[in-house]
Every structure is written in C-alpha cells, then in structure tokens.
Amino acid sequence: MKYIDEYRDGRIAQAFARQIAGEVRAEASYRLMEFCGGHTHAISRFGITDLLPANVRMIHGPGCPVCVLPVGRIDMAIGLARRPEVTLCTYGDLMRVPGSRGASLLKAKAAGADIRMVYSTLDAVRIAEAEPSREVVFFAIGFETTTPPTALAIRLAAAKALKNFSVFCNHVLTPAAIQSILESPDVRALGRVRVDGFIGPSHVSTIIGTQPYEFFAEEFGKPVVVTGFEPLDVLQAILMLVRQVNEGRHEVENQYVRAVTRDGNAIAKGEVAEFFELRKSFEWRGLGVVPYSGLRLKQAYATFDAERRFDLADAGGEDNPACECGAILRGVKTPTECKLFGTLCTPDTPMGSCMVSSEGACAAHWTYGRFRDRARSAA
Amino acid sequence: MTPKAYRRRLDIKNGRVDLSHGSGGRAMAQLITDIFHEALDNAWLRRGNDQAAFDVAQGRMVMTTDAYVVSPLFFPGGDIGSLAVHGTINDIGMGGAHPLYLSASFIIEEGFPLADLKRIADSMGAAARAAGVPVVTGDTKVVERGKADGVFISTTGIGAVPGGLDLSADKAQPGDRVILSGTLGDHGVAVMSKRQNLAFDTDLVSDSAPLHGLVAAMVEAGGQDLRVMRDPTRGGLAATLNELADQSDIGFRLEENAIPVRPEVAAACELLGLDPLYVANEGKLVAVVAPKAADVVLAAMRAHPLGRDAAVIGEAIEDDHHFVQMTTGFGGGRMVDWLSGEQLPRIC
C-alpha cells in the first residue's frame, strides 16, 4: 500500500533500532512522553517498545480526546440525549464511555434515547436538515484536529438557516494540557514524574503548526519532536529526542515535515477563530481544571450552542474512586499499577476512560501488550 | 358450474410483500410457489410437504444453523440469499463434513419489494445449485413494517462426515501449524463500502463462497492430521484464534508478514481505523494441522481455486493464558486480542 508500507518497513525499523541503541548512554535514562493517543496506539500496535533499549521508556500522555472527557460532560450528554425532542449525534467511540453510576450513551440508546453514530460532522447537519422536527445536537469532542470540522458544520448549518441544529462543544487545546502536565506538582515539585522529552502531536500539529510548542520547550527546558503517526516516524523521533537529550538541547524539531509547517493551516485556524472562543477553564479527566484549555461557541453563534440552548449545567460527576485514569493520564502510574486494570476494568466492561478508546493507555496495553506483564512477573 | 377463479399473477416488477403473504391463505401459497419454488426447485420442494424426507447414511452427521441479517441486502460479490447458502454450507464444512441438505426460513418485512425478494431467492437457488446442495424445505413469515429490516433469512444444514474424521476446536496442540486459506477482510470491506453513511469506491467484491470442495481436498490430503477448521466470519481471524486457544487450552504465535491481505482491503482499513484481523470473511477458513501434514495440506489447498493464496501464518504454542501473539511486520510483538465492542455491525 503506497504511502503506508514505506513507513512500516521492518528492515528500516531495525536500522533505526540499532542507531538508537548505539547512541543512548548506558548510564542515562530517557523518559519520553508521547502526548497523543494516536502515538500510544501505534507504539502498542507495532510493538515499538520491543525495539528500544531498556533505558528508553515511553510514558503515555493525556492526548486521547475520549479519555480526557470528564464524567460530568458525559452525564450532560446522556441527559441531553434522554430529552424526547433531542437526537444526539456522536462519534462511535463515545458510546461506551462510562458516566456516573454506570450510565453510558450505549445504555441510554438501548433504553430508547435517540442517539446516532456518525462518521462526520456533516452527517449530523444532514440529519438536522432531513428531520426538521428533531432537535439535532452534535456531541463535539477532540483536540485542534477535530475542531475545524465542527466549525464547518456550524457554518453550513448557518448557511442553510437550520433552526434545529446545535453543538455540545467539548473541544480542548493541546498546548494548555502539555503545560499543565509540566506545571503539575507531580512533575515540578514532587519530582514523581520525570519527562525528558515529548513526542509532539501529529494531526494536531498539521493545524496549529510547531510554533505553539516553542514556548514550553524553552520555558521548561524539554525537547519536543513533532512526529507522524506511522511507526517509523515514531522511531525516528525517538532517535531525534535521544540526540537532543545527549546534547543538552531543548528545541522544537519537526520530524513530520511531510505534513506539518511551523505556522500550521491558516484556513483551518481561521475557521476555528470565527466560531469559537476560549473558556476561562475546562475540566479534564486526570488533569483537573485547566485554565484556558477548552473552547466554546462565540456569543454571535449562541443559537448553535447546545449548552446555552438547553441551559445545561455541569453536574460534576465523580470517577470510580479506585480508578487510576487520572494518574495514568499524567504519566504518574502505568495501567498495571491500577487495581481495576484487567480485573473489573477491561475493554468489554470499562470503568475508566483510558480503557474505552483504543487510543487510551489502558486499552492499548490490555489489547496489545499485556502478554509482556507475564514475562515481567516470571522474571 | 362455478367458473374456475382467475388466478392473478404476482406483480413481481412493481408489487410488494403485504401481510396477506404471511397469513396462510392463497396469497402466501402463491408467493411460495411463484418465487421460492421457482428459484429453488427440486424434487423435495415439489412434493409440497411441511418437511423433506430423505434416506440417512451410516456414520456421523453434522447439523448447523445460522441467521442472516446483513445490511445492505445486496453487496458487491453477493447478497443475503447467496450468503445464507454459503455461510451454512461452510459451517457444515468446518466439521470436515460433506453438506447434503439445507432448509431456509424467511422473515420478510411488510412492504418489501417482490422484485428484491425474487432476486434474493434466485441468487439463493443459483448458489445452492452451484454448490450441489439443495434447499429441501422452508418457511415464510411476514411481519409488520418496522418490525424487521427488509428480509432476514435463517438456514439450517446437515452433512455427512467422512469415516473416522473427528475435527473439534479442543484438539489443537502446541506445535501445530495454522493455515489460512486466503486474503483477509474482503467480505467486511466490500459490504461496508456500500453502507449508506460510509459509501466509498472500490472494485473489491465479497469473498462469499462455499468451501466444501476445498475442505474435501484438505481432508483427502490431511486426514486425521487435520485437528480443527473454522471459518473466520464475525470478529475475523482474531476471534477465531482466540476461541480455538480457549477451547484447546493453548496459545498461538502468528507472523504478521505471512498473513495475506489485499492492498485495497488494507487501504480501506487504514482509512476507517479498522484492523483486517478483525474484519469478517465469508469464503475463507483457518485450519490447525499437525506439523507433519502441514506441507501436504497446504499444497492441496493451493491446488484448489478457493485456496490459491493459502499460507502458513503461525503455530500453536503452550500458553495457559491462551494469548494470541503476533510478531509484527515492524519487528515488535503484540497481542491479537478478542474484539471488544462492535467493529462492524450486521456484516452477515
């Protein structure tokens, strides 16, 4: 398959692996956080850790949009979907995310709520157009990558003068989250988590460019390599990070030059700026309340804002107290350090959000990597 | 003398199934005669009994049943009718058996176009004739609009097992070879390419096919050294191997590079975020074979048109965790776990 196979070539992978092994210093350790769930998935699916020396350790970050959505927002969506007049359109991976008291969109749908899985924001607009008697709400989630398509849907709905379309906006911002991790007591004061460098987001950076990472590379002295999602991209980025660490550099480098520029996609950023504004704060599962980390619709487009339209309030639901998703999302714990992992919490019966999406650290480890745990416990 | 009532022909071109077609009256009799008997014609159906009577051979027999709810009903390379024949023949074949007879029952939604029903019945008849396995008895029900989705078909089949053969999912042993009969994911991706909200252009067709000919060749070549066969339908190869691992109390180790996948299937899976290992097949089988017979079984499969791309893709290993592990093409290791949630609803 052209443009895919080239980035998955096992022989080139071995060459990179040898190069990494040759350049790491035996006495040093390299703790690299991949921010994005897409990278977590690629690392697990292709078994990349098997190709790395023992002192290069990958820490899974919070960049899975499904995982960081707090219980309260899921509860709000379920409440919305239960209204008889509402048709809630959602991406499929949100269906099984647990809300409060074991509720989920999947269960609400089985109980009669009109919830429809869509593949594109435009499908939701089409449903609103075809069914004018329904209040069609699009459950918008995701980082900078999925925000422009939501903007486009609002533009289209406005152009068609649709009165029955709105968006439940949960879009969040990557740089704010990375900064929050670096400023967290775990990292700064307590030193419980050492992050020596970041595998920077792939698709997010096609929109925002590499420039937004320059501030904290400088401020926190951590190298960032913006990296593609293919496994060879990840290996090459690891090599680039190892070199930066060895040389004491902390720069923003771009491995993903075939898609990412320093300034990003001006048209997409313009669309986002037209329809959205910063929230003063937004709650993230795992990170807590992060200032200026989420978006909402501007006042001028308030009629398309489901929160204003249906007067929604965040009820602030609670996670299962034994669930360690928060610590896992901050890189403080690994999935196997959670008591629920693999016992009560599996992809079939997820208790925490990290087990729901295939990009979540727990689901990725359970699905692709748990055979290694046995080897470890035997050794 | 009362004149003989004029018998109005079914308006197959423009007509639709209505509730009278399921009521047990003349309309139902006409639907059965004009569409189903016409399409599936054989000596048992012609006798018009509520059951088919036939002689039974000595030895072991197999029996299996399956329901078909695929959406859309017509897809590249087949439709629900041919699928209902192939799927049940294959379930018989996976026991190493030779399929003998099928039954078919139809649950039809009120308003379903007669033309579509005829097309499905004709396709079913053609598939049954091509496979040499007659549909000898059947049933028709009509439900109110909204209570079904067009048509659902359920088929049951029976077959005869060659003497001495006893394939079973609990018989795989460490060291056995895993052989796959061809490319993965063709059916699932072909069906999905025609889904209303997901349509994309591809020349790909479903692999839906009856495998009993291939099975006969394998039985002849491998005999008692065939441990177990299974067709990787829903849940794909991943589900099949996890089932076998549990039932045989073993694990498997696979080589990703050895698993055949068409480039267009791989590309569609990339686009949709799917893994070909989990996508459904309707014309492929996985066999676990004693190591000493692997070569002859593989050669027999490759000599058959439905096994041309057959390959040894891995082996059974000792593992009380029953993990299915795979060495990726990239050189790392990963698990091939059970599917969780729905990857593709209503694929068969």
**Is residue B2 in a domain?**
no
**Is residue A340 in a domain?**
yes
Domain that holds residue A199: 28-64+174-254
- What does the pLDDT average to over B166-184? 97
A279 and A165, same structural domain?
Answer: yes
**Is residue B115 in a domain?**
yes
**Is residue B111 in a domain?**
yes
- Give the CATH number of the domain where residue B323 resides: 3.90.650.10
A185 and A162, same structural domain?
Answer: no
Query: What percent of chain B is predicted at pLDDT more than 70?
Result: 95
pLDDT at A376: 54
B184 and B143, same structural domain?
Answer: no
pLDDT tens string B251-301: 999 999 999 999 999 998 888 878 999 999 999 999 999 999 999 999 999
A220 and A87, same structural domain?
Answer: no
Domain-ending residue, one of B99, B129, B160:
B160
B206 and B329, same structural domain?
Answer: yes
Alpha-carbon span A97 to B8, nearest angstrom: 56
Cross-chain Cβ contact B341/A96 below 8 Å: yes
ipTM comes to 0.80
pLDDT at A285: 84
Hey, is the C-beta of B200 within 8 angstroms of any chain A C-beta? no
pLDDT at B199: 67
Domain-ending residue, one of B131, B160, B189:
B160
A44 and A91, same structural domain?
Answer: no
B122 and B84, same structural domain?
Answer: yes
B233 and B131, same structural domain?
Answer: no
**Is residue B122 in a domain?**
yes
- What does the pLDDT average to over B45-56? 92
B184 and B304, same structural domain?
Answer: yes
- Give the CATH number of the domain where residue B64 resides: 3.30.1330.10
- Give the CATH number of the domain where residue A81 resides: 3.40.50.11740
A211 and A192, same structural domain?
Answer: yes
pLDDT at B80: 98
**Is residue B348 in a domain?**
no
Domain-ending residue, one of A245, A277, A309:
A309
Give chain B's mean pLDDT.
93
A129 and A94, same structural domain?
Answer: yes
pLDDT at A379: 43
Q: Which residues of A touch B334 (CB under 8 A)?
A: 44-47, 368-369
Q: Provide the domain count of chain A.
A: 3
Report the 10 Å Cβ neighbour count for B69. Answer: 18
pLDDT at A132: 97
What is the distance in angstroms between the Cα of A201 and the nearest Cα belonging to chain B? 18
B84 and B183, same structural domain?
Answer: no
pLDDT tens string B215-249: 999 999 999 999 999 999 999 999 999 999 999 99
B117 and B44, same structural domain?
Answer: yes
A83 and A138, same structural domain?
Answer: yes
- What does the pLDDT average to over B119-143? 97
pLDDT at B8 over 80: no
Domain that holds residue B268: 177-335
What is the distance in angstroms between the Cα of A50 and the nearest Cα belonging to chain B? 5
Helix (H), strand (E), coil (C) string for chain B? CCCCCCCCCCCCCCCECCHHHHCCCHHHHHHHHHHHHHHHCCHHHHCCCCCCCCCCCCCCEEEEEEEECCCCCEECCEEHHHHHHHHHHHHHHCCCCEEEEEEEEEEEECCCEHHHHHHHHHHHHHHHHHHCCCEEEEEEEEECCCCCCCEEEEEEEEEECCCCCCCCCCCCCCCCEEEECCCCCHHHHHHHCCCCCCCCCCCCCCCCCCCHHHHHHHHHHHHHHEEEEECCCCCHHHHHHHHHHHHHCCEEEEEHHHCCCCHHHHHHHHHHCCCHHHCCCCCCCEEEECHHHHHHHHHHHHCCHHHCCCEEEEEEECCCCCCEEEECCCCCEEECCCCCCCCCCCCC
pLDDT at A173: 95
B window 295-334, beta carbon within 8 A of A: 321, 323, 325, 327-334
Phi, psi of B203 (to 5 degrees): -90, 0
Q: Which residues of B touch A17 (CB under 8 A)?
A: 331
**Is residue B166 in a domain?**
no
B142 and B203, same structural domain?
Answer: no
**Is residue B288 in a domain?**
yes
**Is residue B67 in a domain?**
yes
Q: Which residues of A touch B340 (CB under 8 A)?
A: 346-348, 367
A283 and A164, same structural domain?
Answer: yes
pLDDT tens string B11-22: 999 999 999 998
Phi, psi of B334 (to 5 degrees): -155, 165
The beta-carbon neighbor of A1 closest among B266, B332, B337 is B266
B326 and B195, same structural domain?
Answer: yes
Cross-chain Cβ contact A371/B270 below 8 Å: no
**Is residue A281 in a domain?**
yes
- What does the pLDDT average to over B173-187? 97
A178 and A125, same structural domain?
Answer: no
- What does the pLDDT average to over B106-117? 97
Q: pLDDT below 70 — which residues of chain A?
A: 187-192, 375-379
The beta-carbon neighbor of B321 closest among A50, A51, A374 is A374
What is the distance in angstroms between the Cα of A375 and the nearest Cα belonging to chain B? 12
Q: Provide the domain count of chain B.
A: 2
A78 and A148, same structural domain?
Answer: yes
